[in-house]
Structure formats: C-alpha cells, structure tokens
Amino acid sequence: MIRKLLSVRLVRYLVMASAIVALELALFYILTTWLNVNYLIATPLTMLNSIVLNWHFSHRFVFSGRIHTPHKEFMLVLAASIVGVVLQILITAFCVETLKLLPIVGKTGAIAATFFWNYWFRRRYVFAA
C-alpha cells in the first residue's frame, strides 16, 4: 500500500515537474538564444520561476496535507532549491565547458539530475507525506 502511494505521488510529481521543466527550458532558450544572456546567469533565473511553481503545485496536486505553515514550507522548498541551483550550475557548466555540449543540452541533463533530489527532499522534509 505504501509503495503504491509513493509511486502514485512520484508519477504525479513527474507529470507536474515535466510541465514546469518545459516552461523552464523554454525560458532558458529564450534568454540564452534570443536575448544572449550567459547560460550561467540564465540557469538560476529560470529556476526561480520553477521553484515557485513547484512549491505551489507540489502542495496542491502531489502531496496531501500540510505539516508546516505556508511560509516555512516555502522556505524549506527554497533551501532545497538552492542546492538544486548549485547542482544545475555545476552540471550545466561541466556539460558546456568540458563535454562541449550546447547549453540547452547541459541544462536538460542538469534538470534530470536534480529531479530526484528535489522529490526526495520535498517528500521527506517539506510535506512529510
């Protein structure tokens, strides 16, 4: 029963995160390609939008109940997201500078790598569901 519930939440989180990632990648592409913003600046900028959307939709559609006040909940999501920002910058920079990949490819890989960190932290510490 618990495994089934966790997998349902994980699938919901995956669907929600996929939609947010699509928006994040679109914004990243616009910033880096059309507006010529450096990818190391565009990475945290695009994540800000995703952090707010992820917090809102995680509570509404993925995890039930609230164990913290909304303010504390958001601060915990923000703390986890700061770790995610650092991971994404490092991974994106490695992909671009070392592997010589396009920034959008590095960003996509970085998002995939941080997906499970974000889910685990939110499930374990933010929503404790």
The pLDDT value recorded for residue 103 is: 93
Contact yes or no for 106/39 (Cβ under 8 A): yes
Listed by start position, the domains of the chain span: 2-126
Contact yes or no for 123/63 (Cβ under 8 A): yes
Residue closest to 107 by CA, chosen among 8, 22, 13 = 22
Question: In the numeric block, which tokens belong to residue 91?
Answer: 């991974």
CA dist., res. 112 & res. 119, Å (int): 12
Per-residue pLDDT tens for 110-128? 988 888 888 889 888 888 7
Per-residue pLDDT tens for 2-30? 566 558 888 898 999 999 989 989 999 99
Contact yes or no for 54/118 (Cβ under 8 A): yes
Q: Average pLDDT of 96-100?
A: 96
Q: Average pLDDT of 49-61?
A: 88
Q: Whole-model pTM above 0.85?
A: no
Q: Which residue type occupies 47?
A: M
Residue closest to 27 by CA, chosen among 2, 11, 10, 50 = 50
The pLDDT value recorded for residue 4 is: 62
The pLDDT value recorded for residue 22 is: 93
CA dist., res. 35 & res. 29, Å (int): 9
Please, which residues have CB within 8 angstroms of residue 89's CB and are 6 or more apart in sequence?
A: 40, 43, 44, 110
DSSP 128: -
Indicate the average pLDDT of the chain.
88
The tokens 């990818």 sit on which residue? 39
